[in-house]
Amino acid sequence: MEKSETELLLQGYGLTTAEMIYRMPDYKSVLNSFVWQDYDIAPDYPRLFKFIEFWQAEIEGPLHTVRFTHRKLLKAGEWRNVVGEFRLH
């Protein structure tokens, strides 16, 4: 069963965005770009490296450059459980 985004964020995951610059299989001098996003854990980035390994094994376009950034969107101390709710109107 896959976890919700909130559960992942509370466990320390953050949004990782990677841009893969790769060469076209038939035209080696032409570069193309692919953007990948997933929730991952810094500093090991297991999901990112698993995707890069998949790319190298299964996709014909060889990678030229991989640039990535990681942003932790929520910390455990920033989340609180709200029990009640007030409605107006």
Contact 25, 32 (CB under 8 A): no
Kindly indicate the confidence band of residue 79, based on its pLDDT and cuts at 50, 70 and 90: low
- Domain holding 10, by residue range, is 5-73
More reliable by pLDDT, 89 or 11: 11
**Does residue 82 sit within a domain?**
no
Q: How many domains does the chain have?
A: 1
DSSP the chain: -PPPHHHHHHTT-EEEEEEEEEE-SS-TT-EEEEEEEEEE-TTT-HHHHHHHHHHHHH-SS-EEEEEEEEE----GGG-----------
pLDDT digits (tens, 9 = 90+) for 60-75: 999 999 999 998 776 5
pLDDT at position 71, please? 86
| Rounded distance between C-alpha atoms, residue 58 and residue 23, angstroms | 14
Task: Tell me the pLDDT band of 9, cut-offs 50, 70 and 90.
Answer: confident
Tens-digit pLDDT profile for residues 10-63: 888 889 999 999 999 899 899 999 999 999 998 899 999 999 999 999 999 999
End-to-end Cα, the chain, rounded Å? 39
The verdict on residue 87 lying in a domain is no
Q: Is residue 79 part of a domain?
A: no
Residue 46 has a pLDDT of 95
